[in-house]
Amino acid sequence: MDKEDEQVSPKNWGLDEFRMLNPVSKKAMYLSNGIKIAILAAIYIGIFMGLRMANDLPFWLFYLATPVFVPLIAYYAVFPGIFYRHYRYRMDDDCIEIRRGVIFHSHILVPVERVHQVQVTKGPILRKFGLANVTVTTAGGTASLQYLDDDLAEFVAENLNQKIIQMLKARE
């Protein structure tokens, strides 16, 4: 392995061992979920007010909506802490592994050999915190490395793209 290869190896970024997310990702999740909670709460209050004002609709519809909205709001409130605690990812020369989940825990292993396309995405909230998601597309679906530091996400995408190009060249 020459010097240039060593610099772009996932090992140099400590990616060959399972890593936790940057703690700042929790803030991004809290902000994102806070918006979702605000929207849900507005709809919930809207239902309450609407049913009180509309005399021809039964008020028990509000009690029917409660078991849907309250657990959902609670889930969004506790999600970031649990998600952050359980999220682990690693990447080496031939595979990407992600361990994640809040209620359902999952372990995803994507062989680099199967990756067709790599995409880095960052919405306004992620941009604010200097984070990005890396989505890898295979013929059987997609997998995401979420809330990575911006420069790490770029490195992962670049590294995977290089590997795909090398693989395709070797096949020609």
Q: Could you give the string, one character per residue 64-103, with x where binding to another protein holds by CB under 8 A and - elsewhere?
A: ------------------------------xx-----x-x
Nearer to another protein, 124 or 140 (CB): 140
Nearer to another protein, 112 or 157 (CB): 112
Q: How many other C-beta atoms can be found within 10 angstroms of the C-beta atom of residue 136?
A: 24
Which one of residues 9, 133, 138, 144 is an interface residue with another protein (CB under 8 A)?
138
Answer for the pair 87, 21: CB distance below 8 angstroms, yes or no: yes
Answer for the pair 16, 91: CB distance below 8 angstroms, yes or no: yes
Answer for the pair 128, 89: CB distance below 8 angstroms, yes or no: no
Q: How many other C-beta atoms can be found within 10 angstroms of the C-beta atom of residue 98?
A: 21
Q: Is 141 in the site for another protein (CB under 8 A)?
A: yes
Q: Is 139 in the site for another protein (CB under 8 A)?
A: yes
Least Å distance, CB 22 to another protein, is: 24
Q: Is 17 in the site for another protein (CB under 8 A)?
A: no
Residue 170: burial class (beta carbons within 10 Å; 0-12, 13-18, 19+): exposed
Q: Which residue has the tokens 């770029």?
A: 154
Which one of residues 5, 140, 169, 172 is an interface residue with another protein (CB under 8 A)?
140
Binding positions for another protein, rule: CB under 8 A: 94-95, 101, 103-111, 113-114, 116, 138-141, 143, 171
